[in-house]
Amino acid sequence: MDYQRILNDIYQEVSPVIGEGKVANYIPKLAGVPAIQFGMAVHTLGGNIYTIGDARKLFSIQSISKIFTLTLALKMVGEDALLERVGREPSGNPFNSLVQLEYENGIPRNPFINAGALVVADILLSNCNNTKAVILDFVRERSDNMDITIDPEVALSEKANGFRNAALANFLKSFNNLFNPVEEVLETYFFQCALRMNCVDLVKSCLFLANHGLSPWSGKQVLTKSQAKRINSLLLTCGTYDAVGDFAYRVGLPGKSGVGGGIIALIPGKLSVSVWSPGLNSNGNSHAGTLALELFTTKTGMSIF
């Protein structure tokens, strides 16, 4: 399949809507990102990489980082221990809702809502020293890119404005579902959200999820086949906030979005594909990005359904 031509065509078709939507504005640094940017990358299992537009421009990956910390936590404690502290059901509610947490006694519905990601961060803190370094090393290794780092200004801003996340963390703590100090958990979470990566980094680092847990270009078995399958099912049912159904309906791929405008998606057995454009739709997912992925599945005829 001529992926490059498909990317070219998609770029042309989404051009009119690039810049539409609303750039995340709860942090000054994010609010200042120009909306008219668009990048996309594809990485086949065979090893080819295709890119278009701003595919090598860095952006704040935000919630996409939850894939990396979940992967680490799964490796550290395994499925069963994880499932005792965080569920695997879609939330059916806005992504930072406290309501659900209250009705379910402090067990977050899944690892991709903020509460769930805080519990995952807590698991990392309990299972390694210097958690931030562990996360950073893992992301660098998975991306084969030692230059990846965080934006310290974003991390600081998240902290200064993170009252809802602080509420969530304290709430989890009140249910005894955080074992480390609230401040450390939040610090870790804000760190991972502030990671800066580009579209190429994303397709490289997540390719193992499209290949039964084995990263083809590095030969490293990151997760077992079963674990990789389970993360994909979580991505499909819980990966895109309150728009899981909409995303599955239109794109039909397991994927994860971030408020920085990035999205990574996977076609198991074939490839990983990422897109970035900062303007968000009403669900908090990249507007042009979602459209581009929808076009990608249409044009390639690839879908898991």
Residues 174-213 that bind a copy of itself (CB under 8 A): 174, 182
Considering only residues 18, 117, 234, 292, which one is a binding residue for a copy of itself as defined by CB under 8 A?
A: 234
167 binds a copy of itself (CB under 8 A): yes
Enter the tokens of residue 190: 């804000």
Write down the catalytic residue from 60, 63, 65, 91. Answer: 63
Rounded to the nearest whole angstrom, what is the least distance from the CB of residue 233 to a copy of itself in the complex?
A: 4
78 binds a copy of itself (CB under 8 A): no
Considering only residues 21, 53, 108, 254, which one is a binding residue for a copy of itself as defined by CB under 8 A?
A: 254
Cα separation, 81 vs 234, whole angstroms = 16
Which of 1, 43, 42 minimizes the C-alpha distance to 215?
Answer: 43
Write down the catalytic residue from 139, 154, 259, 273. Answer: 259
The label of the residue with tokens 């996309």 reads: 40
Enter the tokens of residue 149: 């780092």
Please tell me what DSSP assigns to residue 208.
Answer: G
Burial class (CB in 10 A: 0-12, 13-18, 19+), 172: buried
Answer yes or no: 241 catalytic.
yes
The label of the residue with tokens 């221990």 reads: 81
Answer yes or no: 50 catalytic.
no
Please tell me what DSSP assigns to residue 50.
Answer: E
Considering only residues 244, 259, 263, 275, which one is a binding residue for a copy of itself as defined by CB under 8 A?
A: 244
Q: In what order do the strands lie in the sheet with 39-44?
A: 49-53, 39-44, 271-276, 262-267, 255-257
256 binds a copy of itself (CB under 8 A): no
Whichever of 36 and 83 has its CB closer to a copy of itself, that residue is 83
Rounded to the nearest whole angstrom, what is the least distance from the CB of residue 174 to a copy of itself in the complex?
A: 4
69 binds a copy of itself (CB under 8 A): no
Tell me the H-state helices in the chain: 3-14, 28-31, 65-83, 99-103, 114-127, 131-143, 152-161, 163-174, 182-193, 199-206, 225-238, 244-250, 287-300
User: Of the ranges 68-76, 117-125, 133-141, 159-167, which one interacts with a copy of itself (CB under 8 A)?
Assistant: 159-167
The residues annotated as belonging to the active site are: 63, 66, 189, 241, 259
Q: Which residues bind a copy of itself (CB under 8 A)?
A: 87-93, 97-100, 102-103, 109-110, 163-164, 166-171, 173-174, 182, 228-230, 232-234, 236-238, 242-246, 248-249, 252, 254, 268, 303-305
